[in-house]
Amino acid sequence: MHPVDLLTLAFAILPTGTWGQVVGTPYGFASGVTGGGSATPAVPSSITQLKEWLADDTARVIMIDKTFNFIGSEGTVTEPGCRLNTGTCTALNGGQDTIKTGDCDANEVRITVTYDKASYLGMDVGSNKSLVGKGSAGVLNGKGLRFKAGAKNVIIQNIHITNLNPQYVWGGDAISLSGNDGVWIDHVKLSKTGRQHFVSHYDASRVTISNTEFDGVTSYSHSCNSDHYWTIIVGGTGDKITFDRNYIHDVSGRAPKIGSSSGTQLVQAVNNYFYSGTGHNFDISSSGHVLIESNYFDSCVTPLTSGSNGKIFNTASTSVEGNCASVLGRNCGVNYLSSNTGRMTSLTDSTVLSELGNYKSQLVAPLGYGKVVSTVTANAGIGKIGN
């Protein structure tokens, strides 16, 4: 038999899932994460089995090689909700109604809402998991991921989470964390959510989000302009987050919002491509300690809100890039703002540099803004890695 035929036969008889190991190595604040490790990759036979495998704490490599459709799987809920009755941005004009059983606000009227129950609340995720998609086929349609409090050592790679009651505020979060030590979210696509594409809240989480597409295109926009408003919230007390080489586009707010009422959130935001932001990108409250470097902003109205008052170091001009050298051992990467992007004042609070200086081995090197767009568009999202 010809050697090529032997190779073909060998691949044909490999057990299901051999394509499924994680590609690459966790880095940044997710350094050391192993996920399911060397567990034998396995493909769940149903959405029920997928939920069971994700929720336990057994080390697993879970492979997604098709669309798992959760829409309708848990029925629907009909209950009171609210609708804006002032201005032009209502659900009748491309906006969102709100799932809310409590009193409506003064500018809202009571309505009845019906939403998909499966989409409203994500699947529980336990410790020691790798959830990996094959090619562009791995889709969770109508169900997000809700990490169990205290779950740790998890890798999510090359999957698309979409269609979470996008017509309703509070309709569903794509990825929700709370006190999770060691999470790598890589080459993921998030779209058409009712609420957050990503949220970290309550207790501290240690996370890297990389090569991920935050797609804000929607028919149900809180700002009534076909752009998603509820994008990213980082609010866990003591969060440490690396945000690298992500594509954030067609959004109108919270892209990202960093800060909470207690603790601190330490973030390195580096090498990201922000495109078509019709509202605000970074909105950082006093608890947010954030280094913003080597990012590319194109057609973004407000790259950083004027009210941001955290410990912020951002390089909006070359005059301050050298300020990082004495602490980080290198210059900071300059951010690029296109001619049709709003201005961003350079803020040079050295507090965040001193804090990140304690984690030099986990910091990501700036690509330089000239390489960001080509690198990010070639790699962010699903179907762009070799599995």
| Model confidence pLDDT, tens digit, residues 88-133 | 788 989 999 999 999 999 999 999 999 999 999 999 999 999 999 9
Judged against a pLDDT cut of 70, whether residue 3 lies above it is answered with: no
178-221 tens-digit pLDDT: 999 999 999 999 999 999 999 999 999 999 999 999 999 999 99
pLDDT value at residue 299: 98
pLDDT value at residue 250: 98
- For residues 183 and 326, what is the distance between their CA atoms, to the nearest angstrom? 30
pLDDT band at 249 (very low <50, low <70, confident <90, very high): very high
Judged against a pLDDT cut of 70, whether residue 9 lies above it is answered with: no
pLDDT value at residue 318: 78
pLDDT value at residue 112: 98
Judged against a pLDDT cut of 70, whether residue 81 lies above it is answered with: yes
Fold classified for 28-71+114-379: Pectate Lyase C-like (2.160.20)
Known active-site residue 343: no
Judged against a pLDDT cut of 90, whether residue 48 lies above it is answered with: yes
- For residues 335 and 274, what is the distance between their CA atoms, to the nearest angstrom? 11
- For residues 108 and 245, what is the distance between their CA atoms, to the nearest angstrom? 39
pLDDT band at 19 (very low <50, low <70, confident <90, very high): low
275-334 tens-digit pLDDT: 999 999 999 999 999 999 999 999 999 999 999 999 999 988 777 888 999 999 999 999
Share of residues in the chain with pLDDT > 70 (%): 95
Domain span(s) for CATH 2.160.20.10 in the chain: 28-71+114-379
Please state, rounded to an integer, the average pLDDT across all residues of the chain: 93
Catalytic hit among 83, 254, 330, 343: 254
Q: What is the pTM of this model?
A: 0.95
pLDDT value at residue 387: 63
Judged against a pLDDT cut of 60, whether residue 41 lies above it is answered with: yes
pLDDT value at residue 313: 96
Average pLDDT over residues 362-366: 98
Average pLDDT over residues 360-378: 97
pLDDT band at 1 (very low <50, low <70, confident <90, very high): very low
pLDDT value at residue 363: 98
Share of residues in the chain with pLDDT > 90 (%): 89
Judged against a pLDDT cut of 70, whether residue 30 lies above it is answered with: yes
255-282 tens-digit pLDDT: 999 999 989 999 999 999 999 999 999 9
